[in-house]
């Protein structure tokens, strides 16, 4: 098969021939239809998330069709449509027993090494057989991938796979931050800082939950326009000196919930500064290792809170399926966050757009016949 391989951080992806070993007893072989290009992939490609994970096939936000299953797999069969979940929780570790499935220790340990749950990986370079690692137990910048059984979540067959690809990361992350962490209620005032692929899902989730004012903040005018089309009531240019003041005025003294979806100290501080007393700031954005953020400690007296979240802070395996149902029924629109369509050879160019802060989500269509993507 063909795959986009990262040989070492800071270099360009190389699309080349790769061999793929068959799935183990508790694994699933998926023919990839489409994959989103996420900033998390870029962070690893640039060496921001630590080492020892290359050569590697990136990609973790994908969907496709099951081609084969291991002997112990019962929940999917060849021909089923699936979205990929990058935290295939074990259901047995201390975090899973406590109901914090997104923090599964077994899945985390595998992800940190670029391996599957058994400590091995399935792809190899065709030339010399060098083992390739798989980003977040997935590695779907490829025509096929082998994932742990729990990482293949069945979805409705009438949901186009180019849209389903976004459910397994952006949608789960955005909706989980709103529902599971902030617990936004009807009428709440919300600010979303960063209106890229995930930020637009946060905004859509806030709108879905009935938030009143939804203030979108970004430095890119086209992103703000897209946010206004997806439910934002106001747009604020973050490059203006008075951007914080503008949000405070629009929200009449501060917002109930601010979502930071960038991963930078200055945007985390922005989220904190626009809160009303008692409000909560949720950091959704992924910051590189070593980056620190600071807030005025005395303002904890106003009962503001600063919260983290990872992959929706719920049960991602279950939520991928339920959210896919909502997308298939038309209750959630994911097509509107897609600013660019490309293919396997265009992923490096999509990385360049992410570096420049341009566009929302890029979807790489790996198999046009399966993906059902628009022309």
Provide the annotated active-site residues: 38, 40, 43, 60, 169
Instruction: Name 49's Cβ contacts closer than 8 Å, sequence gap at least 6.
Output: 40, 43, 288, 289
Instruction: Name 68's Cβ contacts closer than 8 Å, sequence gap at least 6.
Output: 22, 23, 28, 29, 78
10 Å CB burial of residue 79 (0-12, 13-18, 19+) is exposed
CA-based angle 40:41:46, to the nearest 5?
Answer: 95
Containing 4, the helix (H) or strand (E) segment is strand 2-6
Q: Which residue reads 């096939």 in tokens?
A: 57
3-class state of residue 192 by DSSP: strand
| Edge-first strand listing for the sheet containing 2-6 | 123-125, 14-20, 2-6, 56-57, 133-134
Q: Where are the alpha helices (DSSP H) in 29-92?
A: 39-45
Distance (Å, rounded) from C-alpha 39 to C-alpha 306?
22
Distance (Å, rounded) from C-alpha 217 to C-alpha 192?
6
């Amino acid at each position: 098969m063909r795959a986009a391989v990262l040989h070492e951080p800071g270099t360009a992806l190389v699309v080349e021939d790769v061999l793929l070993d068959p799935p183990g007893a508790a694994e699933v072989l998926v023919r990839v239809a489409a994959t989103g290009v996420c900033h998390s992939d870029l962070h690893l490609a640039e060496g921001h998330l630590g080492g020892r994970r290359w050569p590697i096939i990136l990609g973790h936000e994908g969907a496709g069709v099951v081609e084969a299953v291991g002997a112990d797999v019962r929940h999917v069969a060849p021909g089923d449509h699936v979205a990929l979940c990058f935290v295939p929780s074990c259901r047995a570790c201390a975090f899973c027993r406590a109901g914090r499935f997104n923090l599964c220790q077994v899945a985390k340990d595998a992800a940190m090494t670029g391996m599957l749950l058994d400590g091995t990986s399935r792809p190899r370079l065709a030339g010399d057989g060098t083992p390739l690692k798989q980003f977040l137990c997935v590695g779907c910048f490829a025509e096929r991938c082998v994932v742990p059984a729990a990482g293949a979540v069945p979805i409705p067959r009438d949901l186009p796979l180019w849209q389903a690809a976004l459910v397994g990361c952006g949608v789960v992350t955005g909706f989980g931050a709103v529902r599971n962490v902030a617990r936004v209620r009807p009428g709440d005032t919300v600010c979303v800082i960063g209106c890229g692929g995930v930020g637009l899902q946060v905004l859509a989730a806030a709108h879905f939950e009935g938030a009143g004012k939804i203030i979108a903040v970004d430095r890119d005018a086209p992103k703000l326009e897209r946010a206004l089309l997806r439910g934002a009531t106001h747009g604020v240019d973050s490059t203006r000196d008075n951007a914080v003041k503008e949000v405070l005025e629009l929200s009449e003294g501060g917002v109930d919930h601010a979502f930071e979806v960038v991963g930078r100290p200055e945007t985390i501080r922005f989220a904190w500064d626009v809160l009303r007393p008692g409000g909560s700031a949720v950091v959704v954005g992924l910051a590189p290792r070593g980056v620190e953020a600071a807030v005025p400690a005395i303002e904890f007296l106003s009962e503001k809170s600063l919260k983290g979240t990872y992959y929706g802070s719920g049960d991602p395996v279950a939520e991928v399926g339920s959210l896919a149902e909502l997308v298939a029924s038309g209750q959630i629109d994911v097509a509107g966050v897609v600013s660019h369509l490309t293919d396997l050879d265009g992923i490096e160019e999509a990385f360049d757009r992410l570096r420049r802060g341009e566009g929302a989500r890029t979807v790489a269509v790996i198999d046009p016949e399966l993906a059902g993507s628009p022309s």
